[in-house]
Every structure is written in C-alpha cells, then in structure tokens.
Amino acid sequence: MKIIITKKQYKNLVYSLIDSIVGGDLVLKTTKGFTYHNIYDSYGEEVMTIYFVKGSGKTPGCKNDLGLNSGFVMDLEKYVPYFKHKIFSKVLIDYVYDKTNIKCDCIDYSYGFDYDDEQDRFIYNLKKKKIVKLGESVDDRQSLDEIIYNFLKDEYYPDYNWGPELFDFYREDVEEYGSIAFYINDSEGYIYYDDGTLEVLPWVSERLDSWFNNAWQPVFKKWFEENSGLKVNRIVTDDHTTTLNESTNIDKNKKLITDIVGFDFSNNIQQITSTYDVPMEFDECLYGETINWSLNFWGPMYLFELDGVEYLYQDRGEFEWFMDEYCNDYVDNEIPENLGIFILGLRFSDIINLFFEE
C-alpha cells in the first residue's frame, strides 16, 4: 500500500526534519580569496558548501552549486523521505535560501555506504530541471511508511521503555482499569481502551496530520501493536474516528490519486501478456518479436487510455517506459510528472498496483 502526501506537506515535513538535524539555524562563513561559502549548523559542525563562482563546484556550468557533507547526508538518509529526488532538491535549495539568502541553482552530493563512490552520486540542475546523473536504483527508495515508522520511534515513544517484557503488564492494567495511558515528556500522548480503541491526543495527532494527512494512522497502529502487544481496532483523534482495515485505506488512496490526476483509472487498465493483446494502432510502432522480447525480459505491459489517447506502459526497473498510439515513447518520467504523481515520489507502477484488477 502506498501513502500519499501533498507537495506542501512534504515541504513542511522536510523543513522540520532539517531544523531538527541542524538545530534550527545555519551559519555562513566565507574565507577571503576562496570561491566557496562554508555552512555550519547550530552546533558548529560543517554541513554544506556553496561554490559561488561558476565552474568552481563539482557540477559544470553551475554558479551557486550546493554540496552536502557526508555526515549531513547520513542524517538525511535516516529521516528524510525521497532525498534522492528532484522534489527534495528543490525543498533543500529553498531551505538554504531562507536561511542564507543565497539561491543555489544546482545540488550535488554522494550517498550510500561509500560516499566517495561516483556511482552513488546525485546531481540536479534546478534551472534546467534536469538530473545530471542519477545512481539511484528504484528498489533503493525508502518507503514513506518506513519514514513515518522511524519518525514515530524517535518522537513519540513513551517516557518509559516498552516492548515484549511489558506486554503482560499492559494487558493486566487494561483488564483491571479499562484503559492505559502512554506519556511523552510527562504529557499524555495516547490512551488505549479495552474495546481496542486507541485515542491519540490532539497535540500528537494534529502535528502528524499536518505532515501526513491521516496516512500516519495505519503506521501508528502497527508501531503501537508491535511495542505494546495490544490489538488496535480503531484510532480516535480530536476530529474523527478511523476504523483501520485494508480495503478502507485502499479506497481512500484511490480517491486521493483520482483527485490529484483528475481521472479515474478504475476499469481502465488492461494487462498485456502477448502480442495478441496489443491493439492494431501500435502495429506501426512495434514488431511482434520486439514485444515478445520485452515481455520475456521485463514482464507484462499494460494498456490504458488518457485524454482519448491509448498508451502502452512497462516497468523496466531503472525507468518506466510509455508509448502512445502515435509511436511516441516516454522514458524520462514525463507521464508521471504530467499526472502530478512524480513530485509525490510515486511511480506509474503505484497506479497499476492500486487500480489494476485481474
């Protein structure tokens, strides 16, 4: 199941996470005669560098080229969703501009285990709106569920430790008193009741809502159940009650995707498993042997219609391939970008997984 947040919510979330990492402020220092600014966090640690003379940075043709220190990148990997994507690059550049009044046009950093490995390097040119080099594999993306889960572990675990050794204590307390409260910094954060209801107090739920809509709730349920041993049937917040089941969450995600795209993909996706499934409109675009080879190598294709035009789609691992009935192919995320889902960190395969039915 994929979770969706808006561009504004993503920006607010990343701003808050970076504030936590750097201590809420950045300090700019420039040495006379040098062609770059050093940027330090509130704790005096160097986190970024801005090369302000064209060609002085690592990215050719960029005037203000923003580079990230490896320690800072390691912190980003732990907490920030989609930090190897254009959407994060734009948000970080805005963040640096807000803190330093310097607008960068490129961002360049290494990531992964070996921070000197050129294969694990992300470079994005903001002016050209182009990824200069991308070493990221699609399978390496951290899911938003994981981001939320890790965030809950860091921000909302109870004042006292919890886990399997306390399962019997929680259950006995609920049986005797009908409920048990969990405190965060001496304030009630959430309360569990004997009917399976988990009440999340407003100071917790409103903050999570502002970043994740209600997408945090299934993750909160999983996180709470794993650490308390108590079964959650519903989550109650100040403004609504959510009954947690898979079909309800799928329906909500379908509606949200439909609202974003402006089109309902229900019953509009057909699976292609042989050349005989491909409409005749594509006869001039693809040979039968080409189709068979692609199917054998990458798996099934899918046929869908958008704005009166038929498209073939195939997930090819490192990229997504599209071809319209006029023989135009698209491999640079043009379709997901036009649909408005790419900026949310989603691929067209997410639409397939959500809407396609055998």
Position 137 confidence tier, pLDDT thresholds 50, 70, 90: very low
Angstrom distance (rounded) from CA 348 to CA 2: 12
Q: Is the pTM of this model over 0.75?
A: no
- Give the containing element (helix H, strand E) for 262: none
Q: What is the DSSP string of 13-54?
A: HHHHHHHHHHTT-EEEEE-TT-SEEEEEETTS-EEEEEE-ST
Q: Which whole number is the average pLDDT over 175-191?
A: 93
Measure CA 188 to chain center. Answer: 29
pLDDT for 140 equals 38
- In this model, does residue 181 exceed pLDDT 70? yes
| pLDDT tens digits for range 287-345 | 888 899 999 888 899 999 988 899 999 998 888 999 999 999 998 888 988 888 877 67
- Taking alpha carbons only, the member of 291, 277, 269, 293 closest to residue 349 is 269
Position 226 confidence tier, pLDDT thresholds 50, 70, 90: very high
Angstrom distance (rounded) from CA 80 to CA 89: 12
pLDDT for 356 equals 84
Residue 88 burial (10 A CB sphere; 0-12, 13-18, 19+): buried
Cβ burial 221-260 (10 Å sphere, 16+ → b, else e): bbbbeebbbbebebbbbeeeebebeeeebeebbbebbeeb
Task: Residue count of the chain, please give it.
Answer: 358
Angstrom distance (rounded) from CA 38 to CA 46: 7
Strand order in the sheet with 269-272: 269-272, 301-306, 309-315, 320-324, 329-330
Q: Which whole number is the average pLDDT over 210-231?
A: 86
Cβ atoms of residues 230 and 212 within 8 Å: no
Site of tokens 């070493």: 135
Residues 6+ apart with CB under 8 A from 14: 80, 81, 88, 91, 92, 95
